[in-house]
């Protein structure tokens, strides 16, 4: 199988260069992921306008959705792309360490639900897949907003409200949710 072009030139540099020791909270990580998503969205928007202006309005949400799903897969440790092996290994190792640090931070105090978190994630290391999944679910809408901040277009079919209503002209659902299935394109 061949990789989609977007996977060969994905703008995930912010994710690659995060230093795990600098991530002391979920907020630090969120800022870096939002920056990566924003730059990725801007790059896709600019390139699609430049290379396919005729079909831009009907394609932009789809292109952004695919890249959004890629970022979600990377964060959650479910990326199936086999190219750039060394780069991918470095990024995955970095993410494992980031989530290990987040786990330590979340569970260090005995207040604010730390005991429940320890129980939820007690067998989650060394990959921290459950913590990564939970983090993504908690932050995916903000990542979508960052990715689509420069988008101008609507998804080509109804994808909001369980597939009953269309997106607005910024690829967003009226209720403020990520359009259905955009994590799994």
Confidence of residue 140 (pLDDT cuts 50, 70, 90): very high
Confidence of residue 143 (pLDDT cuts 50, 70, 90): very high
Higher pLDDT among residues 83 and 175, named by residue: 175
Per-residue pLDDT tens over the stretch 165-184? 777 777 877 776 776 555 55
Q: What is the pLDDT of residue 5?
A: 46
Report how far residue 170's alpha carbon sits from residue 156's, in angstroms, rounded to the nearest whole number.
Answer: 12
Q: What is the pLDDT of residue 126?
A: 92
Per-residue pLDDT tens over the stretch 27-54? 888 998 999 899 889 988 998 889 888 8
CATH class of 5-147: mainly alpha
Inter-residue contact 94 to 16 (CB < 8 Å): yes
Residue 134 reports pLDDT greater than 60: yes
Q: What is the pLDDT of residue 184?
A: 52
The mean of the pLDDT values for the chain is 79
DSSP-assigned letters across all residues of 10-48: ---HHHHT--GGG--SHHHHHHHHHHHHHHHHHHHHHHH
Confidence of residue 185 (pLDDT cuts 50, 70, 90): very low
Lowest mean pLDDT among 14-18, 20-24, 113-117, 144-148: 14-18
Report how far residue 175's alpha carbon sits from residue 168's, in angstroms, rounded to the nearest whole number.
Answer: 10
49 token code pair: 């306008």
Q: What is the pLDDT of residue 154?
A: 64
Lowest mean pLDDT among 2-16, 40-54, 92-106, 128-142: 2-16
Domain boundaries defined on the chain? 5-147
Per-residue pLDDT tens over the stretch 5-35? 455 455 555 666 677 777 777 888 899 899 9
Q: Give pTM, 2 decimals.
A: 0.83
């Amino acid at each position: 199988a061949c990789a989609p072009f977007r996977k060969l030139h994905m703008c995930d540099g912010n994710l690659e260069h995060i230093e795990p020791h600098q991530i002391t909270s979920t907020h630090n990580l969120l800022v870096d992921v939002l920056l990566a998503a924003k730059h990725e969205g801007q790059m896709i928007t600019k390139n699609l306008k430049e290379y396919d202006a005729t079909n831009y309005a009907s394609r932009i949400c789809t292109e952004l959705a695919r890249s959004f799903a890629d970022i979600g897969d990377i964060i959650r440790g479910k990326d199936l792309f086999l190219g750039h092996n060394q780069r991918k290994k470095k990024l995955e190792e970095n993410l494992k360490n980031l989530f290990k640090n987040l786990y330590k931070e979340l569970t260090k105090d005995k207040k604010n639900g730390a005991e429940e978190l320890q129980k939820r994630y007690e067998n989650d290391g060394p990959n921290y897949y459950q913590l990564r999944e939970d983090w993504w679910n908690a932050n995916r809408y903000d990542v979508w907003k960052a990715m689509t901040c420069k988008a101008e277009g609507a998804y080509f079919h109804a994808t909001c409200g369980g597939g009953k209503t269309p997106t607005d002209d910024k690829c967003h659902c009226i209720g403020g949710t990520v359009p259905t299935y955009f994590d799994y394109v």
